[in-house]
Structure 1
Amino acid sequence: MRDFRKYTVWEQGHKLVLELYRITKTFPAEEKFGLTSQIRRSGISIPTNIAEGCGKPSEKDFARFLGISFGSCQEIEYLMLLARDLDYLNEANYDSIFLEIVSIKKQLYHLIKKLNAES
């Protein structure tokens, strides 16, 4: 069994979620059950699926959950673009989040590739 806390990508995903919560606090109240909720749920999915995958017995299963995390990164990438275009998010925050997402996606991609080669 793997310890999800030992994965840098999980730690970075966790930090991203904390940042997403901080940023979405400033979103308009009418977005509470819309964009704000969707961003938070998508963000939480990244480290959650890494953690859940760590509990799976095979490399293939672990890789599948990492793939779900990767998809959630893609979703966050779009939702942040939307938030920026709606003027809920300034350019500096958008750029910072975008760089974090790219970093997480690269790590996930390489880990998935490694796991798939081992199975």
Structure 2
Amino acid sequence: MHDYKNLKVWEKAIELAKSVYEFSEHLPNNEKFGITSQIKRSAVSIVSNIAEGAGRNTDKQFVNFLNMSQGSSFELETQLF
């Protein structure tokens, strides 16, 4: 098991999620349940998968969750384009 709070990638993902939430405040209200909601979920998924993976018993499981987190980061990047 890893202590996710000591992982730089987790710290950066927290910063990213906060930035996404701040950014989303500037999007139009008519997007509240559209892209705004989706980009928030993607950002939270990134950091959540890092934390969940860190709590797993093997490095292989941890890497699997890091891969899911990476997938969510690609999803977020696409949504922001």
Range of TM-score over shorter length? over 0.9
Shift of 1:69: 0.3
Query: Taking structure 1 as the reference length, what is the TM-score of the superposition?
Result: 0.67
Task: List structure 1 runs of 4+ shifted beyond 6 angstroms.
Answer: none
In the TM superposition, what are the counterparts of 1:16-27 in structure 2 within 5 Å? 16-27=16-27
CA distance in 2, matches of 1:55, 1:8: 16
Shift of 1:24: 0.4
Structure 2, unaligned runs of 5 or more: none
Of structures 1 and 2, the one with the larger relative CO (CA 8 A, separation 6+) is: 2
Structure 1, unaligned runs of 5 or more: 82-119
Q: Could you tell me the percent identity over the aligned residues?
A: 43
Aligned length: 81
Which residue does 1:63 correspond to in 2? 63
CA distance in 1, matches of 2:77, 2:22: 17
Calculate the aligned-residue CA RMSD, in Å.
0.6
- Structure of higher CA gyration radius: 1
In the TM superposition, what are the counterparts of 1:84-99 in structure 2 within 5 Å? none
Task: Classify the secondary structure of the residue corresponding to 2:18.
Answer: helix
